[in-house]
Structure 1
Amino acid sequence: MLNKTLIYRRLPWIRASEGRDCGPSVFASVAHFYKHRITLEQARNLVGADRNGTSLAGLRDGGRAIGLESRPAQAIYSALQHVQLPAIAHLKGGEGHYVVIYKWSPTSVVVLDPSRGLRTLSKTEFEAMWSGYLVEFKPTAALKPRELEVKPLKTLLQLARQHKLILGIVLFFALLATSLGWITSFFMQILIDSIIPNRDQALLFALGVGLILVSVFQSALQFGRLWLSARVGQQVHQRYSAQYIDRLLRLPMKVFDVRCIPGLVLRVTQADGIQLALSEGLITILADTVMFVTALGIIAFYNPVAASIAAVALPLVWFVLFSLNDRVYNVQLSSIIHMEEFTSHMVDVFDCVRTIKVFGAEEQYKALLNEKLANFTKSRMDSRINIALPSAWSVLATSLITASILWYGSSQVFAGSMTPGELVVLFGMVAFYLQPIQRLPATILNLRTALLGIERMDEIMTLPDEESRANDVVALPEVKGEIKFNDVHFAYLRNKMVLKKLNFEIKPGETVAIVGETGSGKTSLANLIAGFYLPTHGDVLIDGISTRQIKPDELRNAISAVFQNTRLMQQSIRDNITLMRDSDIELIRNAAKIAQADEFITGQMYGYESQVARGGDNFSSGQGQRITLARALLKNAPILILDEATSNLDSATEQGFLQALEENRAGRTTVVIAHRLSTILRADRILVMDAGEIIESGSHEQLLAQAGHYYNLIKGQLTKPLSEPVEHIAAPNLNQLTA
């Protein structure tokens, strides 16, 4: 057990927080081993993790980025004795998995599993799981020690300092209420040693009135403490959650493209723990510390031997808490992760409930949800059991101490060394002294829960707003709409270029159609124009200024767009068109008329104030698309991107929209991504893409005359099979092997 604890301290368990996070998790553990401490979110960015997992190439490149010489290799078990550990091994089966190999012997290995922690596997067990691939890491001079940016306790203390006056009052109320509780013990001494033996009715009456007044005042203090704590907690919760929401909205688009969005959103609910941390965590610890020390001092004043017996309770409870600390943390995190996973699948299933029903797949998805629910409830049960252990032990330890002091105190009374009243005071002080120790597990738990929530939220809060821009940021003047691509190459993931050697120019006011087979890179090109991503190589220029030099918000002020699968929100039709900006109803209706939407909107019971169901389910796909077109046109930006924006419209509606758009283009630069010939024909120029490259350019007539790729697309009614680029990588195939 000790050996495993020491290993864990050296090789920390950075637990995977999503299903495909094993790659970033093991990479973060290896980085921590070399004192280069990074969060799971930072590890994701370094290794290029996405929804499909992490490739060996990503782990290699991530290691090189922080100063580790990284070498993917294929090996047999006996060769591991020559590999520098820790190394990352790829396990086969299912979707693949990564573990860290920490210790090796001819008969067994010690591995750190990102979902299960440290495990010792026999040679036979490991060989049955291992694919034979691994990544070896060796430190270089470029590797620098690094401290974590995410320090949840520091964040919590900063939040507390912002409300130090009210929290100071809360602490004062807590201490005063506790002190009043002590008075009852001394009242009992007076009652037993003086009032009862002397039958003093007057003093008994005064004592009774005093006890009532103390109780009333104590109750008022407790209420005031709880009210102030709740008020501060609500303010901190609201402010911190608002900061998290603001950060989410300012994250780069690539985060949402590769992450489970419900998991990101659900983290905001963990701010609930901050209120508990302030009122039941920090304040309780401070108040209990003062109470603990004072009570022990009073006990020592009455009887030093009893104080010595009482002092044993704290190390007994603290030792168990320390021993179970990491285990409790991991089961808490596991419970949170499984809850997010279950909730995410619930949202997905009921978003697609129409599809599930039409295919009669209810039983299959019920089984899936039940499996996720079982994982969640089991992890919740494990969490409660592991939390109950230190609490049960603290009750047992304090009960034993109480019994010991009661036995010792009674023997002192029998010997005449202590009066019965003094024993009552001593026993009362012992009870007050042991209360903080009994509460300690719950207090630490509340604090840890809050710190865990802050840690997970801070992982997102520390991510950069957008991709790195150039230092020489240029203010964007009034945009004319010129777009130029200079030798642009782009890859979402390392070594997988989706755009190559793009060189073209779109003049202000020009309408250009981008055509090509599915997967040819058309939407990626639109993403670069909108500034959602920066080119891997080369520059995208807007009016001669590189998007690297333009602030994202300034760039997007000049661009309006309708992308594929644009969703409607649960708001009024008006709010969906204006995106909650103030706008004159006549301007809104004019945009809707161009989009061929005004007629069906005014036909609704409440017109533009009619409510949209989740995802726009109370409208047809064509109606929803027309609302999004009205949204784009209302903005009236100098650059308009339409990515399959009319794919759900019937021919008559589409032609009406295109005609109205042409009549109202007024110098607007329009980039149209489409498959329909009717849409393409209205363009001034057509760019033909294949495998990420522009292979043809010209008017419709010119391209048909060339009888090339465009001709084949039109002739074949756009049904030619997808032609994906093939990338040859020396074995092992570092990009295809993922987990």
Structure 2
Amino acid sequence: MNSFHIPNSTFLIKIAAGERIRLEDGERLALIESGKVEVYAVTRAEGSFRQQFLVALESGGAAFPSLDQFEQTETLLYAAEDTQIKILTFDEVSPEELKILMRHWFAELIKLPWLRLMADKGDDTLIPWLDGTVLAGAENLKEAFRENEEIFSMLLGVRFQAEDKSFSNRVEVRARNQQRILDNSISNLLGEETTNYSETTERAVRLEEASFIVRRAAIALNMPTDNIKLDAELVRRLDQIRLIRRLIQKGNMQMRLIELVEDWHKNDSGVIIGYYGEAKILSVFVPTAPGKYKLINKDKPEGFPITDDVAAQIDKSAFECYGGFPARELKIFDLIKFIFKQCWFADYRTVILISLVAGIIPLAMPIVTETIFADIIPILDRQGLATVTQVIMVTSFTTASLGIVRTIAVMRITTRMNMATEAALWARLLTLPTKFFRRFTSGELASRMGGISVIKSLVSAEFIGGLFGFVFSFWSIFLMCYYSLKLTAAAVAVWFVYAIITAFIYRRVINFQRNLINAGNKEAGIVQQIFKGLAKFREHGAENQAFWLWSGVFGETWKWNLKLRWQSNYNMIIGSVQPFILTMCLYYIAVYGMNEVGPNGQTIQGITYAQFIAFQGAFSSFNATLNGIIPLVGQYFAIQPHIENLRPILKEVPESVGEKADAGILSGAIELSNVTFGYTEGRDVLHDVSFKISAGENVAIVGRSGCGKSTLVRLLLGFETPRKGSIYFDGQDLADLNLPSVRTQMGIVLQNGQLMQGDIFTNIIGTNALTQEDAWQAAEAAGIAMDIAMMPMGMQTVISEGSTNISGGQRQRILIARALVTKPTILIFDEATSALDNRTQAIVTNSLDKLNATRIIVAHRLSTIRNCDRILVMDAGRIVESGGFDELVARGGIFANLVKRQTA
């Protein structure tokens, strides 16, 4: 391919198809006179293999130079056909035409999926590119263009750097894999005994190191370590990351890939597993106190502090670990216990001690007040008044300082609780059995999961401060009793009546809140279903029906919301009136109810003026605390319905429960013995199904719609449990096995499978530590490699939500590639090739035939299963025929009838 540079002058150039030119002058643009070009951003080095497709331009379009401030990238034009290009300076184009060309340039750039995603998320710079208002009102057109183009060049540079890192990581993984292959080859040449010994020793060392690290992480997360163990034989098929992930799962924990930022070890970043030093030593980084970390590995089990120098030697790519809830039915006490175990004991101690001191300090104010009115004011003691003023100032400053310290401690508690609880709850939801999800819609589940946020709101600076303030404010009651038992009794009586009225209101609030939550669950479910079927509503012109469905549930939600607001208004009114009524009662008693008649008929005051002022100070402090705690009590009662709303998720037992055994390395042998199953009692879908599949056998399951094929697949995956009978993998009963250990050795494509929103590479490899080469091999086997190669961004092409930017056949083939990429022992395809044409179908079938894996294929297109070793024919939930394709056709039974229908 020819490549040449453009002279620094106005120039009309003709380039043949396949040739390319670079725009190096930042003051010139390329106007397409005729033909078609593809515009790329490339690194400035000649022959650079790193390039990023930008736009495709035809006659009338213009390509602009890269204005990269760091001079790392430039614009390259590739002629898709014979093309004539005119090179112009910005000043040689009229401002009106130049603005049109510039806007068209940005309008084409914003079509890039990664830029469009940023714009959709509300990026202020990119939104004008999207709506066509870029450069609007610009006084200096060239300067405005330069600002926008520099931002784009900066984003492009960041993307190139990310690709560089990803590429280097893939090269490193590939090199390790190649070295492992070479070592194994040498071992094979040296003999079986040496190979077995070296492999066994290596596996034992790897397993011991990984188990040690995961156990230390579990201890730091207050998780049990009894189940963190694996059969050494499993290590042979697992790289280090997958080994750690499997051990993490065994310990009922989760982990995710993170990028360590600067000074991460000085913040609360959680428990982290990563690599230390040039030797990449597997280590765990454990927080020992707020803002302090310790590094622990097999060589340094006692650990050592992570300083700035140590942190500089830690690999930036690491895994953050999260603890999980116990794999059993949970009660609300278990949830609270888990939440409070995640935080520093020092923070709890700080909050309690400060609250105790903060409760005692206000007692000084009534005593000081009595001193002022009884001893200082009567004798005009200015020096004493100044001293008392200083005491008040110190007291106020101390109270404020203690409040700040307590708020910081509570924020630390809240942060750790949020991080741990959210992760544990979502991890539990994802491990619940499939039958649980049949009871709720997606919207309703999302609404129920939102309840955890309301529960966590109890742990806030306001709530904890108010709670401890109320507990320790009872010192004020004792001081009130010291000044006057009669006034204290009157205040307590009014408070008691106030508490009864408030309790009655909050009892109604709980009922209304419960109804509001139930209505909200229904509304969330309806809204989710409406959005899911929005295209169908529009196709049939049924938008009004959709609005009617929503309005019914929204009206119910609004009704209970309105009632709840009225109860809140009643409570606010009563809370506003209570201090006034109480104060009037105390004044009346102090004036008319405290005086006594002496022996000589004289009137004796029951309480002095100074004492009454001091009493009022103590009373006001306690009453303010009481009025502050009432809304928090209401908040507590309002949480009760949210706990009930969350209870189904807590009560359901996860799949990976108890001490279930790991499946080990499966050969692919499967057996069903007298399996009977039904989704509802008394209505079985499968009846006494029995068959065996040998390791590596290719078996098809066919039958009419509704005969139980997909149900059988769900049973094999452990999504459902047989009512009778058993399912065996390598002679092991599936009911006794850890389900994730079985599923990780399967490649599965189900009916109506969906892709994730993200690039194709991530959709294919998922969370597995695989390289781009592995993804391309899987894509080749699935017949999608050529399609991906023709896409502008290749494996980095972003798939939109709902896979709307690719065809149904492409979606299905990417799903097949995902199933094949890990080279599983067992493959299960449930109508996985229904959207493929005959040519692609042949490619996929040929690829599957080369695999040394057990294959179970559920298909309606009988032409796709002609080469299967055996075909199982189902009818009304039973296996009625079994044999090869030609054999079953010759029998003239149900299968033969199915073939006739499709070939007629």
> In the TM superposition, what is the alpha-carbon distance from 1:196 to its structure 2 partner?
4.2
AA aligned to 1:619 is I
Task: Name the residue aligned to 1:683.
Answer: 868
Cα separation, 2, equivalents of 1:181 and 1:548: 63
Cα separation, 2, equivalents of 1:632 and 1:308: 76
Task: Name the residue aligned to 2:443.
Answer: 262
Cα separation, 2, equivalents of 1:205 and 1:468: 70
> In the TM superposition, what is the alpha-carbon distance from 1:311 to its structure 2 partner?
1.2
The change in CA–CA distance for 1:152 and 1:475 in structure 2 (over 3 A counts) is closer
Task: Name the residue aligned to 2:336.
Answer: 156
The change in CA–CA distance for 1:226 and 1:556 in structure 2 (over 3 A counts) is same
Task: Name the residue aligned to 1:233.
Answer: 414
The change in CA–CA distance for 1:362 and 1:669 in structure 2 (over 3 A counts) is same
Q: Give yes or no for contact 1:402–1:430 (8 Å, CA) kept in 2.
A: no
Task: Name the residue aligned to 1:16.
Answer: none
Q: Which of 561, 574, 577 is matched with 1:380 structurally?
A: 561
Cα separation, 2, equivalents of 1:161 and 1:648: 51
Q: Give yes or no for contact 2:756–2:763 (8 Å, CA) kept in 1.
A: yes
Deviations 1:617-649 (A, max 9, x none): 332222221111111001211110000111122
AA aligned to 1:284 is G
1:304 paired with 2:485, answer yes
Task: Name the residue aligned to 1:288.
Answer: 470
The change in CA–CA distance for 1:178 and 1:388 in structure 2 (over 3 A counts) is farther
AA aligned to 1:278 is V
1:603 paired with 2:790, answer yes
Task: Name the residue aligned to 1:170.
Answer: 351
Cα separation, 2, equivalents of 1:448 and 1:282: 15
The change in CA–CA distance for 1:283 and 1:161 in structure 2 (over 3 A counts) is farther
Q: Give yes or no for contact 1:153–1:451 (8 Å, CA) kept in 2.
A: no
AA aligned to 2:870 is R
Task: Name the residue aligned to 2:839.
Answer: 652
Deviations 1:106-132 (A, max 9, x none): xxxxxxxxxxxxxxxxxxxxxxxxxxx
> In the TM superposition, what is the alpha-carbon distance from 1:526 to its structure 2 partner?
0.9
Cα separation, 1, equivalents of 2:329 and 2:718: 28
Q: Give yes or no for contact 1:391–1:438 (8 Å, CA) kept in 2.
A: no
Deviations 1:389-409 (A, max 9, x none): 445444444432222012223
Q: Give yes or no for contact 2:443–2:527 (8 Å, CA) kept in 1.
A: no
Partner secondary structure for residue 520 of structure 1: coil
Cα separation, 1, equivalents of 2:769 and 2:745: 18
Deviations 1:673-732 (A, max 9, x none): 11113312232222111111112222222222222222222323399xxxxxxxxxxxxx
1:622 paired with 2:809, answer yes
Cα separation, 1, equivalents of 2:776 and 2:882: 37
| 1:534-553 correspondence to structure 2 within 5 Å | 534-553=721-740
Q: What fraction of aligned residue pairs are identical, expressed as a percent?
A: 26
The change in CA–CA distance for 1:153 and 1:530 in structure 2 (over 3 A counts) is closer
Q: Which of 497, 500, 506 is matched with 2:693 structurally?
A: 506
AA aligned to 1:710 is F
> In the TM superposition, what is the alpha-carbon distance from 1:591 to its structure 2 partner?
0.2
Q: Which of 874, 880, 883 is matched with 1:695 structurally?
A: 880
Partner secondary structure for residue 248 of structure 1: helix
Partner secondary structure for residue 360 of structure 1: coil
> In the TM superposition, what is the alpha-carbon distance from 1:499 to its structure 2 partner?
0.7
1:572 paired with 2:759, answer yes
Q: Give yes or no for contact 1:237–1:274 (8 Å, CA) kept in 2.
A: no
Task: Name the residue aligned to 1:92.
Answer: none
The change in CA–CA distance for 1:582 and 1:702 in structure 2 (over 3 A counts) is same
Deviations 1:64-118 (A, max 9, x none): xxxxxxxxxxxxxxxxxxxxxxxxxxxxxxxxxxxxxxxxxxxxxxxxxxxxxxx
Q: Give yes or no for contact 1:511–1:683 (8 Å, CA) kept in 2.
A: yes
Task: Name the residue aligned to 2:626.
Answer: 437
Q: Tell me which moved more, 583-592 or 243-252.
A: 243-252
Deviations 1:564-609 (A, max 9, x none): 1111122332222122221011111100111122223233343323
Partner secondary structure for residue 277 of structure 1: coil
Q: Which of 423, 428, 437 is matched with 2:617 structurally?
A: 428
Q: Give yes or no for contact 2:355–2:468 (8 Å, CA) kept in 1.
A: no
The change in CA–CA distance for 1:274 and 1:621 in structure 2 (over 3 A counts) is same
Cα separation, 2, equivalents of 1:388 and 1:241: 33
TM-score (norm 1): 0.71
Count of residues in Structure 1 that have an aligned counterpart in Structure 2:
567
Cα separation, 1, equivalents of 2:582 and 2:903: 82
Partner secondary structure for residue 679 of structure 2: strand
Structure number with the bigger relative contact order (C-alpha 8 A, sep ≥ 6) is 1
| 1:124-203 correspondence to structure 2 within 5 Å | 151-152=331-332, 155-156=335-336, 159-160=339-340, 163=343, 164-203=345-384
> In the TM superposition, what is the alpha-carbon distance from 1:158 to its structure 2 partner?
6.1
> In the TM superposition, what is the alpha-carbon distance from 1:492 to its structure 2 partner?
1.9
Partner secondary structure for residue 347 of structure 2: helix
The change in CA–CA distance for 1:637 and 1:155 in structure 2 (over 3 A counts) is closer
> In the TM superposition, what is the alpha-carbon distance from 1:488 to its structure 2 partner?
1.4
Q: Give yes or no for contact 1:498–1:692 (8 Å, CA) kept in 2.
A: yes
Structure showing greater Rg: 2
Q: Which of 324, 327, 330 is matched with 2:511 structurally?
A: 330
Q: Give yes or no for contact 1:481–1:543 (8 Å, CA) kept in 2.
A: yes
Partner secondary structure for residue 306 of structure 1: helix
The change in CA–CA distance for 1:679 and 1:233 in structure 2 (over 3 A counts) is same
AA aligned to 1:328 is V
Partner secondary structure for residue 370 of structure 1: helix
AA aligned to 2:836 is L
Partner secondary structure for residue 512 of structure 1: strand
1:215 paired with 2:396, answer yes
The change in CA–CA distance for 1:180 and 1:275 in structure 2 (over 3 A counts) is farther
1:585 paired with 2:766, answer no
Cα separation, 1, equivalents of 2:883 and 2:581: 90
AA aligned to 2:759 is S
The change in CA–CA distance for 1:507 and 1:151 in structure 2 (over 3 A counts) is closer
Partner secondary structure for residue 769 of structure 2: coil
Cα separation, 2, equivalents of 1:714 and 1:203: 108
RMSD: 2.9
> In the TM superposition, what is the alpha-carbon distance from 1:178 to its structure 2 partner?
4.2
Cα separation, 1, equivalents of 2:831 and 2:339: 47
Q: Tell me which moved more, 365-374 or 447-456.
A: 447-456
1:643 paired with 2:643, answer no
Cα separation, 2, equivalents of 1:458 and 1:306: 46
| 1:347-358 correspondence to structure 2 within 5 Å | 347-358=528-539
> In the TM superposition, what is the alpha-carbon distance from 1:358 to its structure 2 partner?
2.1
AA aligned to 2:761 is R
AA aligned to 1:558 is Q
> In the TM superposition, what is the alpha-carbon distance from 1:305 to its structure 2 partner?
0.8
Q: Give yes or no for contact 1:531–1:552 (8 Å, CA) kept in 2.
A: yes
> In the TM superposition, what is the alpha-carbon distance from 1:298 to its structure 2 partner?
1.0
Q: Which of 699, 706, 714 is matched with 1:519 structurally?
A: 706
Cα separation, 2, equivalents of 1:444 and 1:596: 62
> In the TM superposition, what is the alpha-carbon distance from 1:342 to its structure 2 partner?
2.0
Q: Give yes or no for contact 1:188–1:424 (8 Å, CA) kept in 2.
A: yes
Q: Tell me which moved more, 251-260 or 410-419.
A: 410-419
1:466 paired with 2:651, answer no
Cα separation, 2, equivalents of 1:420 and 1:609: 82
Gaps of 5+ in 2: 1-327, 596-602
Q: Which of 895, 898, 904 is matched with 1:713 structurally?
A: 898
Cα separation, 1, equivalents of 2:438 and 2:329: 24
Q: Which of 712, 717, 723 is matched with 1:530 structurally?
A: 717
Task: Name the residue aligned to 1:370.
Answer: 551
AA aligned to 1:152 is I
